[in-house]
Structure 1
Amino acid sequence: MKKSVLAGLLILVLSMTAACGNSKPNQFSLPVEPFTFINQDEEEVSLSDLKGKVWVADFIFTYCETVCPTMTANMAELQKRLKAAGVEAELISFSVDPERDDPATLKSYLEKFDADFTNWSALTGYEFEEIKTFVLKSFKSPIAKDNASDQVIHGTSFYLVDQTGTAVAKYDGMDNTPYEKIIKDIKALQR
């Protein structure tokens, strides 16, 4: 009797553990505010365009002297790994310096990282205060202009957004970016 109870408990624990390995990411639940911005090809991209798709967002600007080149290189690496794994997801880079980052500047910047624009959009076409409010409300990430320079202070995370437009997880976009974890989480959302 004891052996069968223990065996049953062991099977239960193992099945729960296995299920957790395939569970959908739910680090938090942050609804992304509706938006309609302009991408590097001067085309509108809106939250409604992304409904039904899984996407990864980050915040960059092309005149960044510190973190953005590394983050953009890491996003480019994620794009390559997604393609190699046969996983479809959109990549969205929001400019936090919209006054200087027009579509042509964003396109030129991403081309330096061999970006494939079929699933990667860099967005602009708004005022600084608008993107500041949007990022704070949608991703709980602060943005501020650096009064001592022409730089913008912003977070360095990559955010995973599900098909309903809800941010559900974030990852380090700078150091030790967990590419395989991001891909696994995207696959879990797409099941």
Structure 2
Amino acid sequence: MSKKGLFGLLLAVGVPVISYYIVKFTSEGSVDMPRHYFFDTVIEKTEKGKLVKDTVWHKVANFTFTNQLNKSVSVDSLKGKILVVDYFFTRCPNPCPTLTRNMKKMQDAFLKNDSLVHFISLTVDPSRDSVEALKRYADKYKVRHNNWWFLTGDKQTIYKLAYDEFKAATIDGGEVDTAFLHTNKFYLLDRDRVIRGWYDGTDSIAMAKLAKDIGLLFLEKDKKKKRNLFRK
């Protein structure tokens, strides 16, 4: 079976069985959730005579750019949603078309949960990727605009976001061209905009894992009520 076929099969089978996992993991008493990766600080405090450490995980800062519908949009408006983010440019011959096709498959897989997950593609070539270019590109791949933004804006701001907030250089092993960012990673952010994973957007197995991890993050909304169910 081709990678494309395998990816489609894994999504077709994997996403519907999330409800099964909920029942199964709840009965077993624990869930292995997508881990946290980057922290900003560790707070130490004393509780009942004991030193307690509380990790403050890195939260991606708010950003505002213009989308393919010529609307100024802010990620703060997506409060409570799971985010999947990638970087691309419309003139890219490879691997951007593959990234976009796989993101589209992910959007289709979570069609019934489109109010819970939002997709974002940031151009790394904003001088050429106008609003009109982004709209043509999005329409070419028949994306649904309601929960997928293609964003353009100031290049310096976009790149600073990639390096400082999404940790692109760290995730890509330091092999990132600061003059022209070109990464094939999909970044998964939870409802608090904390990075919970990154995935090779050209790889079918990685995409199936991303689909699974999105499903697991759906469960996390109730973690305060059922804290014993979650391991990290």
CA shift in 2, pair 1:145/1:139, >3 Å? closer
1:140 to 2:140 alignment: no
Structure 2 residue runs without a partner (length 5+): 1-24, 39-57, 170-175, 220-232
Distance across 2 between alignment mates of 1:77 and 1:177? 13
Pairing partner for 2:66 from 38, 61, 72 = 38
Which SS does the other structure have where 2:110 is aligned? helix
Mind listing any 5+ residue stretches in structure 1 that lack a counterpart?
1-14, 147-151
Aligned partner of 1:176 in structure 2 is: 204
The answer to whether the Cα contact below 8 Å between 2:201 and 2:207 also exists between their aligned partners in 1 is no
Structure 1 residue 145, shift from structure 2 partner: 6.6
Query: What CA distance in whole angstroms lies between the structure 1 residues aligned with 2:204 and 2:35?
Result: 21
Provide the rounded CA distance (Å) in 2 between the counterparts of 1:19 and 1:101. Answer: 49
* Alignment root-mean-square deviation, CA: 2.4
Partner in structure 2 of residue 24 of structure 1: 33
CA distance in 2, matches of 1:49, 1:137: 21
> Would the aligned equivalents of 2:36 and 2:196 in 1 still touch at CA under 8 Å?
yes
Distance 1:19 1:67, change over 3 A: farther
Aligned residues: 169
Q: Quick one: which of 145, 148, 158 aligns to 1:120? A: 148
Secondary structure of the 2:35 match is coil
**Quick one: which of 126, 133, 145 aligns to 1:98?**
126
The one-letter code matched in structure 2 to 1:31 is: K
Q: Deviations over 1:122-168 (max 9, x none)?
A: 01122x2221111011111145377xxxxx44110111111111121
Q: Percent identity?
A: 35
What TM-score does the superposition give when structure 1 sets the normalisation length? 0.79
For the 8 Å contact 2:99–2:184, the answer to whether it is kept is: yes
1:110 correspondence with 2:138: yes
Specify the SS of the correspondent of 1:69: helix
The aligned amino acid for 2:165 is S
2:113 to 65, 81, 87: 87
CA contact (8 A) 2:199 2:207 kept: no
